[in-house]
């Protein structure tokens, strides 16, 4: 079980709800993934169209917990206001805190992130900060009151996997007790399995599933990969070696001596 | 009737409503599940009817949407 802010989660796969070909495919993908948490957002609502109302009804029907985000916010102030609005609409203290600092990579503005995290924690939020693998930033986020970290694998939507596996491994090793969810940049299930084998606690996906040729099948594949990676980590992988070690016992080998 | 010109989700609108709650009804939101901010500050649903609408206000009306 993964425990975040006192909530036990059986599934270690969190799923985004954007960019699916249709609402029906979104629903089917969430079910196929086994995810118990999905990310959602707030956007401007037209009084004439009210598109958000039907989306919210669909999510509620899935019976999953929601993790609202502050996507699109470029300052701490915008992120805090968006979080306050999200808490009212979604009825949860959880917030996936994003403060974007750079448009090409959607890299977090870690200064604004720490500032917003401190403000939100003081107002009773349970913050899931979208951050980098930077140890100092992680330390500041934890000091601000975050109890979960969400380091990126690679830029959002890139499908690259892990851009800096050594930095992420160092982050994992430095804070062994902090739940960490790799968020963003994963492309294929093997990336997710690797993340779990490295000892991370969960993964958050969106584009890799939503934009797959068959999102429902891909959601199921990711679920299997996360489970396999978690099981492998728990089973204790062997240490890599540079030279061969015979797996078949040498004593009794024919033609020797 | 006195009307007030406000910026709603980036578009200029006119309303005769005196407070934010009435203005939302005027703009067609009715009983929609939305959250609001005025001039960058969150306005809770419970505070809308005591939040005056003034000329040039920037009103954001947000609703649940797909997100990653």
Ranges of chain A with pLDDT below 50: none
Report yes or no: B11 at the A interface, CB cutoff 8 Å. Answer: no
pLDDT exceeds cutoff 80 at B1: no
pLDDT exceeds cutoff 90 at B30: no
Provide the pLDDT for residue A147: 98
Active site residue A96: yes
Q: Is residue B68 part of a domain?
A: no
Provide the pLDDT for residue A42: 96
In the block, tokens 């690259």 appear at: A160
* Nearest-CB residue to A45 (from B61, B66, B67): B61
Ordered DSSP codes for A25-51: HHHHHHHHHT-SEEEEEEEE--TTT-H
Report yes or no: A73 at the B interface, CB cutoff 8 Å. Answer: no
| Domain of residue B39, CATH code | 3.10.20.30
* Nearest-CB residue to B63 (from A26, A52, A81): A52
Nearest CA in chain A to B29: A47
Ordered DSSP codes for chain A: -EEETTEEES--EEEE-SS-S-HHHHHHHHHHHT-SEEEEEEEE--TTT-HHHHHHHHHHHHT-EEEEB-TT--SHHHHHHHHHHHHHHH--SEEEE--EEETTTTEE-HHHHHHHHHHHHHTT-EEEEEE-S-HHHHHHHHHTT-S-BEE-SSSTT-----S-HHHHHHHHHHSTTS-BEEES---SHHHHHHHHHTT--EEEESHHHHTSSSHHHHHHHHHHHHHHHHHHHHH-PPPP-SS---SS--TT-TT--
Q: Is residue B13 part of a domain?
A: yes
Note whether A9 and A38 are within 8 A (CB): no
> Most A CBs within 10 Å: which of B44, B62, B64, B65, as the mutation test of the A interface?
B64
Q: Is residue B8 part of a domain?
A: yes
Report yes or no: B37 at the A interface, CB cutoff 8 Å. Answer: yes
β-partners of residue B66 are: A40
If one counts the domains in chain B, the total is: 1
Report yes or no: A85 at the B interface, CB cutoff 8 Å. Answer: yes
Q: Is residue B48 part of a domain?
A: yes
**Helix, strand or coil for residue B47?**
helix
Q: Is residue B11 part of a domain?
A: yes
Note whether A97 and A113 are within 8 A (CB): yes
Q: Is residue B67 part of a domain?
A: no
Alpha-carbon gap: A174 to the closest alpha carbon of chain B (Å): 27
Q: Which two tokens stand for residue A103?
A: 């448009």
Read off the pLDDT of residues A58-70 as tens digits, 9 standing for 90 and up: 999 999 999 999 9
Alpha-carbon gap: B10 to the closest alpha carbon of chain A (Å): 9
What whole-number distance in Å separates Cα of residue A31 and Cα of residue A27? 6
Q: Is residue B40 part of a domain?
A: yes
Question: pTM of the predicted model, to two decimals?
Answer: 0.94
Report yes or no: A42 at the B interface, CB cutoff 8 Å. Answer: yes
Contact: B64, A84; criterion CB under 8 Å: no
Residues from chain A contacting residue B44 (CB–CB below 8 Å): 88
Q: Is residue B15 part of a domain?
A: yes
For B49, the domain range is 4-62
């Amino acid at each position: 079980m993964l425990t975040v802010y006192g909530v036990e989660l059986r599934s270690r796969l969190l799923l985004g709800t954007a960019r699916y070909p249709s609402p029906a495919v979104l629903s089917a993908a969430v079910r196929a993934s086994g995810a118990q948490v999905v990310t959602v957002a707030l956007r401007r609502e037209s009084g004439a169209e009210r598109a958000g109302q039907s989306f919210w009804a669909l999510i509620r029907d899935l019976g999953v917990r929601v993790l609202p985000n502050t996507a699109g916010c470029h300052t701490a102030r915008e992120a805090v206001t968006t979080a306050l609005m999200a808490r009212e609409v979604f009825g949860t203290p959880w917030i996936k805190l994003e403060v974007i600092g750079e448009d090409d990579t959607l890299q977090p503005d870690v200064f604004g992130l720490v500032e917003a995290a401190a403000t939100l924690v003081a107002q009773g939020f349970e913050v899931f900060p979208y951050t980098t693998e930077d140890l100092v930033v992680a330390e500041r986020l934890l000091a601000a009151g975050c109890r979960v970290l969400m380091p990126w694998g690679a830029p959002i939507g890139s499908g690259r996997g892990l851009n800096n596996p050594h930095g992420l491994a160092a982050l994992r090793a430095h804070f062994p007790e902090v739940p960490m969810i790799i968020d963003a940049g994963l492309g294929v299930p093997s990336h997710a399995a690797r993340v779990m084998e490295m000892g991370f606690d969960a993964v958050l996906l969106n584009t890799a599933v939503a934009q797959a040729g068959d999102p429902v099948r891909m959601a199921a594949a990711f679920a299997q990969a996360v489970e396999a990676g978690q099981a492998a980590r728990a089973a204790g992988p062997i240490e890599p070696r540079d030279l061969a070690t015979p797996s078949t016992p040498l004593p009794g080998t024919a033609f020797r001596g | 009737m006195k009307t007030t010109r406000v910026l709603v989700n980036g578009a200029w609108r006119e309303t005769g409503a005196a407070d934010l709650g009435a203005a939302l009804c005027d703009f067609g939101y009715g009983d929609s599940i939305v959250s609001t901010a005025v001039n960058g500050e969150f306005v809770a649903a419970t505070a809308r009817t005591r939040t005056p609408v003034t000329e040039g206000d920037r009103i954001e009306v947000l609703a649940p949407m797909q997100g990653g």
